[in-house]
Chains A and B, each alone.
Chain A
Amino acid sequence: MASRLSAAFPADRAALVTFVTAGDGPTGEVLDALVAGGADVIELGMPFTDPMADGPAIQAANLRALARGTRTADVLAIVKGFRVRHPDVPLVLMGYANTMTRPTPTAFAEAAARAGADGVIIVDIPPEEAGEVAPFAANGIDVIRLATPTTDAGRLPAVLAGASGFLYYVSVAGITGLQQAAQASIEDAVARLKAATDLPVAVGFGVRTPEQAQAIARVADGVVVGSAIVELVGKHGVDAPEHVRAYIHSLKAAVEAARKEVA
């Protein structure tokens, strides 16, 4: 299972990691558009009533998805369909503890593995509560950890212990989709993280433009884009896939250009 994820982070270029909320808009087609546009890794958000780490765009997407009656079973069905259509593209489920440990952590981990998920990002389970996520590793699902600007050197080993797949660097202390961090601070942080782990380091929060993505792709192993895609889905609804594909394509071109410049 983990091989799909590691293959998505080649040594010679940064991966484009893209997020959408499951059940918001025509999710299956939007996922296909992400892949068609050039996404290397899919993060699929599990909608939750109380997304307390998310900004307005993803909050609204959660509420839209839930208002349409999206259930956990529907999210897993979306994963299953995606896995059939795209056997080689890694997919990570992202969300909050209360929906991702139901009915039990083990039962959810088994269901996610059966559906074909490669990893999980559970925003409100820090390393201190790592016991909660043990069933994921036991089912071959990577547990992707978050490092933030407040994760200091003393704390980093605890974050990395048990981390797999990739390390997600949340570049701003804040919620999703608002401001972007200064490039210099991202470069410092990525250097610090890469010195401490062999896992690929992907950088996200507030990344919107191809220029931003390109700058990050010069130094990091991955660039995560979420709220900007979710906004396109919110704005265009059933017509979202073509807009998403074009947008992802522009990001992908920028990310690919980054390493060519360096070389």
Chain B
Amino acid sequence: MTDTTTLPNSLRNLPDEHGHFGQFGGRFVAETLMPLILDLEREYRAAKADPAFQAEFDDLMEHYVGRPSPLYFAERLTEHYRASAAPGPNGERRGAKIYFKREELNHTGAHKINNCIGQILLARRMGKTRIIAETGAGQHGVATATVAARFGLPCVIFMGAKDVERQKPNVFRMKLLGAEVHPVTSGAETLKDAMNEALRDWVANVHDTFYIIGTAAGPHPYPELVRDFQSVIGTEAREQIQKAEGRLPDLLIAAVGGGSNAIGLFHPFLDDAGVAMIGVEAAGHGIETGQHAASLTGGAPGILHGNRTYLLQDEDGQITEAHSISAGLDYPGIGPEHSWLHESGRVEYLPVTDQQALDAFQLCCELEGIIPALESSHALAALESKAREMREDQIIVVNVSGRGDKDIFTVADALGVQL
């Protein structure tokens, strides 16, 4: 594989030295945090150039996380769409061949662990002795609590009180792993408020605390380093699909909340012009209802949590509440690189409603024997419109970013089932 980052026109060269992806990204933090952010950037540059850091990361990926995650041919789902696809104008058969990137098989059940391993190695390198993180669905909290246990560091997880209520199994998991779970009761008591509280803790404890941000957002260099750690997804998928099919895929699909699983899959393919990409945003009850979490489709550029990016907000710049059935997508912003990929047109962003995600969730359970996370179900829902439009010899890779065991209570509730 060639290293395309050296090409002058590469889409993979960003951010620039100020952490900007076009007009997005940057370092919008209080002065107290600024020296630490600059330290982190220096330390990350040094770690990137250090073969020992990469070797330790790779070793943990293989033996602790269980990588590489499989690239799986979803045969029955492929047949399902083929059976109901109309033939093309020249009578050609339609219904693309669907592969799953099985991130749900990772240790802790989602892609989140990839980033946490990378960041805790950085924390240790910087001599930090205390870990904090925010979490929405609890997947990032569990992944952070896991690596904190593995490396013997105390850990506090900030979680919106509403999310603590709707994600009880993950709260208990975090506690079993030795983390302190701090319910956040400000604002709407969800992910954005958890992030505010984590930032407040960090600013008061900069001397010893490392903040493991869970998505490819926040002040530079977080969007870059989270993307780099998550790029293991796309790098593996690239090799795996070449081996399985002898060529690159035609379309990549991934769900986007903050967007770390999506950027991890997309980034290694950005310079491959023949590979189309769809990021799926949570449309909640529908964009037109205002109750959604689709920052690109229904938001505007603004500044929050350290970066300039698309946000759900009113005309005064007050942040509005996001809604999604998926706690992991219930955030009013998106990673800055996605904002840039949206404006540059390289990636298409598609809204998918709670109901569409629920339907895709059930279809995946029934046809593939895989219970996907509600986040990943949003990506799977995009197959409804895309798989049937594509020729039979075309290939789609969907990122099944997490497993859905944590969501069964939410799904039961939505389906009107009493457990």
Chain A residues in the interface with B (C-beta under 8 A): 48-55, 59, 63, 66, 71-72, 96-103, 123-129, 145-152, 155, 159, 170, 172-175, 178
Judge whether A99 and B316 touch: CB under 8 Å. yes
Interface pairs (21), CB distance under 8 Å: A48-B318, A49-B187, A50-B193, A50-B319, A52-B196, A53-B200, A98-B302, A98-B304, A99-B316, A124-B303, A126-B28, A126-B29, A126-B30, A128-B18, A129-B26, A146-B31, A150-B33, A170-B32, A173-B204, A174-B32, A178-B204
Query: Judging by beta carbons under 8 Å apart, are A150 and B317 in contact?
Result: no
The 5 A-B pairs at the shortest CB distance, nearest first, are namely A174-B204, A98-B317, A97-B303, A102-B317, A99-B317
Residues on B lying within 8 angstroms of A by beta carbon are 18, 26-36, 186-187, 192-193, 195-196, 199-200, 203-204, 206-207, 302-306, 311, 313, 315-319
Q: Is the CB of B200 within 8 A of A102?
A: no
A98 and B319 contact, CB distance less than 8 A: yes
Contact B35 A146 (CB under 8 A): no
Checking A55, A59, A72, A151 against B31 with a beta-carbon cut-off of 8 angstroms, the contacting residue is A151
Q: Which residues of A contact B204 (CB under 8 A)?
A: 172-175, 178
Chain A contact residues: helix, strand, loop or mixed: loop
Taking the nearest CB of chain B, how far is it from the CB of A166, in angstroms? 15
Q: Are B34 and A128 in contact (CB under 8 A)?
A: yes
Residues A126 and B31 in contact, CB atoms below 8 Å apart: yes
Further 18 A-B residue pairs, CB within 8 A, beyond A49-B318, A49-B319, A53-B203: A52-B196, A53-B200, A54-B200, A72-B317, A96-B303, A98-B304, A101-B303, A126-B31, A148-B30, A148-B32, A149-B32, A150-B35, A150-B36, A155-B35, A172-B204, A173-B206, A174-B203, A174-B204
- Determine the residue in chain B with the shortest Cβ distance to A152: B35
Nearest CB on A from B43, distance (A): 16
Task: Please measure, in the bound complex, the distance between the C-alpha atom of A159 and the C-alpha atom of B38, giving whole angstroms.
Answer: 14
**Is the pair A102, B315 in contact by a Cβ cutoff of 8 Å?**
yes
Complex contacts, A72 vs chain B, CB 8 Å: 316-317
**Most B CB within 10 A of own CB, among A51, A99, A129, A155:** A129
Interface centre among B36, B192, B303 (most CB of A within 10 A): B303
User: Contacts A59-B186, A72-B316, A175-B203 known; A98 to B30 CB distance under 8 Å?
Assistant: no
| C-alpha spacing A133/B290, complex, angstroms | 32
**How far, in angstroms, from A224 to B242 measured CA to CA in the complex?**
63
Contact B27 A129 (CB under 8 A): yes
Majority secondary structure, B binding face: mixed
Is B192 a contact partner of A98 (Cβ separation < 8 A)?
A: no
Once the chains are docked, how many angstroms separate the CA of A150 from the CA of B205? 11
Select which of B27, B196, B316 is within 8 A of A50 by beta carbon.
B196
Report the minimal beta-carbon distance from B192 to chain A, rounded to whole angstroms: 7
Contact partner, A147, options B31, B193, B318, Cβ 8 Å: B31
Using known A-B contacts A71-B316, A98-B303, A173-B204, determine if residue A53 contacts B30 with beta carbons closer than 8 Å: yes
Select one of B31, B195, B199 contacting A159, CB under 8 A. Answer: B31
Task: Name the distance in Å between A208's Cβ and chain B's nearest Cβ.
Answer: 18
Question: Is there contact, CB below 8 Å, between A50 and B192?
Answer: yes
Q: Are B315 and A103 in contact (CB under 8 A)?
A: yes
Task: Report Cα–Cα, A86/B398, bound state, in Å.
Answer: 63
Q: Tell whether A126 pairs with B34 under 8 Å between CB atoms, given A52-B199, A102-B317.
A: yes
Query: What CA separation (Å) do A129 and B34 show in the bound complex?
Result: 11
Q: How far is the CB of B307 from chain A (nearest CB, A)?
A: 10
The smallest beta-carbon distance between B309 and chain A, in angstroms, is: 11
* Alpha-carbon separation in the docked complex, A52 to B192 (Å): 10
Q: Are A50 and B304 in contact (CB under 8 A)?
A: yes
Q: A98-B304, A150-B206, A174-B204 are in contact. Are A124 and B29 (CB under 8 A)?
A: yes
| B32 and A150 contact, CB distance less than 8 A | yes
B-side contacts of A96, CB under 8 Å: 303
Q: Tell whether, in the assembled complex, residue A148 and residue B319 are in contact, meaning their CB atoms are under 8 Å apart.
A: no
CA distance A72 to B199 in the complex (A): 25
The answer to whether A173 and B29 have CB atoms under 8 Å apart is: no
Contacts of A147 in B (CB 8 A): 31
Least Cβ–Cβ distance between B168 and chain A, in angstroms = 26
B23: shortest Cβ distance to chain A, in Å?
Answer: 11
The answer, among B30, B200, B318, for a CB contact under 8 Å with A123, is: B30
- Residue with the highest number of chain A CB atoms closer than 10 Å, among B30, B304, B305: B30
**Contact present for B313 and A98 (CB under 8 Å):** yes
CB-CB under 8 A from B207, the residues of chain A are 173
Q: Are B316 and A124 in contact (CB under 8 A)?
A: no
- A98 contacts across to B, CB distance below 8 A: 302-304, 311, 313, 317, 319
Q: Smallest CB–CB gap between A124 and chain B, Å?
A: 5
Measured between C-beta atoms, what is the minimum distance from B364 to chain A in Å? 35
For A63, list chain B residues within 8 Å (CB): 186-187
Q: What is the bound-complex CA distance between A50 and B193, given in angstroms?
A: 8
CB B175 to nearest CB in A, in angstroms, measures 25
> How distant is the Cα of A71 from the Cα of B316 in the complex, in angstroms?
7
Q: Which of A53, A71, A100, A170 has the largest number of chain B CB atoms within 10 A?
A: A53
* CB of B38 to closest CB in A, whole Å: 8
Taking a contact as CB atoms closer than 8 A, the residue among B31, B187, B193, B316 that contacts A170 in the complex is: B31
- The CA-CA distance from A220 to B103 in the complex, in Å, is 56
